[in-house]
Amino acid sequence: MNILVAEDSVAYGVLYQEIFQSKGHTVKLTFDGQECLSEYCASPTSYDVVILDYSMPKMNGLDAAKEIFAKNKNQNICFISSFGDELESKLADLGWVNRVKFVEKPFSSDGLVKKVERLFKESGHKVIA
């Protein structure tokens, strides 16, 4: 899979990159919502999954997701955040509970990969690592 990650914590971003690359996936790392959106808009069909942190500078993950869905309503998006209750409430308000996946920090590496791969499979694709 080709994965676009937006995570303002360099340590978490590198961790995600290492986790997914160790499973054979390609990862492009960005550090805020605006940078992620710019990267996504440059090649909107290049990413199988977009992983977003919820709380980031310049543009939060929720606003980035809105912009991404405006460009591609079928994009696979997974949020990773320690703001579980707040984010889940906002996703419910937007009607996105079944549209996106959510992984709460802390998480296991295998659990993260399985959830993201399952998101991609549920969209009708075969995971090729």
Is the CB of residue 54 less than 8 Å from the CB of residue 79? yes
Comparing CA positions, the residue from 114, 102, 119 lying closest to residue 52 is 102
What is the per-residue pLDDT across 61-70, written as a single tens digit (0 to 9) for each?
A: 999 999 999 9
Q: In this predicted model, which residue has the larger pLDDT, 17 or 117?
A: 17
Mean pLDDT of 73-88: 82
As assigned by CATH, the class of the 2-122 domain is alpha beta
Q: Would you call 97 helix, strand, or coil by DSSP?
A: coil
Mean pLDDT of 50-76: 92
Is the CB of residue 66 less than 8 Å from the CB of residue 51? no
pTM for the full model? Answer: 0.86
What is the per-residue pLDDT across 14-40, written as a single tens digit (0 to 9) for each?
A: 999 999 999 999 999 999 999 999 999
Domain residues of the chain, as ranges? Answer: 2-122
Q: Mean pLDDT score of the chain, rounded to an integer?
A: 86
